[in-house]
Amino acid sequence: MNYKNRKDFPENFLWGASTSAYQVEGAVLEDGKSPSIIDMYEHPDDVADFQIASDHYHRYKEDIALFAQMGLKAYRFSIAWTRILPEGTGKVNEAGVAFYKNVIRECRKYQIEPIVTMYHFDLPYCLEKEGGWNRRETIDAFVEYGKNLFELYGKDVVYWLTINEQNTMILHPGAIGLPKGGKVPGKKELYQQNHHMMLAQAKVMKLFHEMVPGGKIGPALNLTAMYPATCAPEDAIAAHNWEVLRCWNFADVPVYGWYHPLAVSYLEDRGIMPEVLSEDYETLKDARPDFIAMNYYSTATIGASKGDGQDVAARAGDQQIMLGENGVYRPAENPNVEKSQYGWVIDPVGFRYTLRKVYERYHLPILVTENGIGASDQLEDGKVHDEYRIDFLKKHLYQMRLAITDGVEMIGYCPWAALDLVSTHQGYQKRYGFIYVDRDEFDLKDMKRILKDSFFWYQKTIAENGKNI
């Protein structure tokens, strides 16, 4: 739809940027922190690990001052469970508590709204050894963790995200790393883990509404619209299959209190429906998220399954993510979109389309918590000229502005990432930040912070509240 006049971004729009604890902090075993599953997973030998990362743990004041210089209105970061409760439950680690108090205080000093992700892939390894999300006891551990966070930081933080990209963890477990030996769980086990996470999330949301009056909480999912490969009805059905299984089935539960009916039919037919106790139905009811947090990178194009042994293929640039399922869907190419140097689809119009679908389905305001382009940024004469990142963000923000004109209620935009951090599979070869961290995979150099061209573009965009878009 074309408009005579486009609406402006809201006056209180949260222009922000994002990071996660394990990818940016470093200091993985300092000040009482215990290992998380991320710390113990197998990772490629030829890329940086998470031991030092971007050393945000020691440089957070410098970094947040730069965020303020950029003009950020919000900083989305995650709290490492293992810094707060090194044993997963029980005794609170005061050094970890103090670190995040200081991060929040530093944000408030510059009028930056802290947005906290409670869980960004990094389950305490001590809980994983006991069975992790396969055990119902981990639900109670997560609720205890949440209670501690709300008591410690509830007065200082308004916006909270429960679990980051639960759908990625369940559908593509290899995307966040591989356990020792490289074995990933089967689908039945993964969907049982998913059910336990859903119960934990619902309990935490209810607890949050009791403990943090005036606060806002929501799930953070990787959401994307699907295109049928052709106008053939079978392709449209396949695209709907994958859109439900990948997106709506994970967002429906916190909003509506139960799984999408098509997903239930799929799980039951495949014999992978999780064990559900009678009390689980009541637990999942009335979690009442206040908003949807949405990570968006690209769309997907889907064809009907042919059952010819060619339905499943690795996603371009990432052998850990397999796409396609016999009898459900197969990935297809879309000649109408661009691709990044790593083979990721670039689809700004699909961003608008996805925002419209999410808002139409849930009628909740949307906070974009990730969106960005990874690239092998090059430092030349002390500068980084990342015009490709400016182009990517500008086109996506233009489509967001059109979505706002369409009637979508937006809270804010926190692209990935505030500064360079460790990409889970490509280390520092693939960078996302507005701020360059001067280090290589294994040569830490001086880790100097260098402002990229995109930093100054985003600074101007924020100052003008997006009127240049």
The catalytic residue positions are 165, 370
Bond from prior residue into 220 cis (ω within 30 degrees of 0):
no
For residue 344, give every residue at least 6 positions away whose Cβ sits within 8 Å of its Cβ, in sequence order, or none: 297, 298, 316, 317, 373, 374
Alpha helices by DSSP H, listed for 257-334, are: 261-270, 278-284
- CA gap 228, 234 in Å, rounded: 9
Q: Are 368 and 15 in contact (CB under 8 A)?
A: no
Q: Which two tokens stand for residue 425?
A: 């599979």
Give the containing element (helix H, strand E) for 394.
helix 387-406
Q: Which amino acid is at 317?
A: G
HSE (CB half, 13 Å, CA atoms) of 215?
28
Q: Which two tokens stand for residue 4?
A: 């005579």
- CA gap 238, 330 in Å, rounded: 8
- C-alpha gyration radius of the chain: 21
274-280 long-range Cβ contacts below 8 angstroms, 24+ apart: 274/188, 274/191, 274/192, 274/194, 274/195, 275/192, 275/195, 276/195, 280/195, 280/199
Q: Are 432 and 414 in contact (CB under 8 A)?
A: no
| Of 150, 146, 157, 245, nearest in space to 197 by CA | 146
| Of 173, 422, 143, 159, nearest in space to 291 by CA | 159
Q: Is 325 helix (H, G, I), strand (E, B) or coil?
A: strand
For residue 54, give every residue at least 6 positions away whose Cβ sits within 8 Å of its Cβ, in sequence order, or none: 23, 24, 25, 26, 419, 420, 421, 422, 437, 439, 447
- CA gap 448, 440 in Å, rounded: 12
Give the containing element (helix H, strand E) for 451.
strand 449-451
DSSP string for 24-68:
H---TTSTTPPPBHHHHSB--TTS--SSSTT-HHHHHHHHHHHHH
**Other Cβ atoms within 10 Å of 62 Cβ, number:** 12
Q: Are 250 and 167 in contact (CB under 8 A)?
A: yes
Q: Which amino acid is at 262?
A: L
- CA gap 119, 122 in Å, rounded: 7
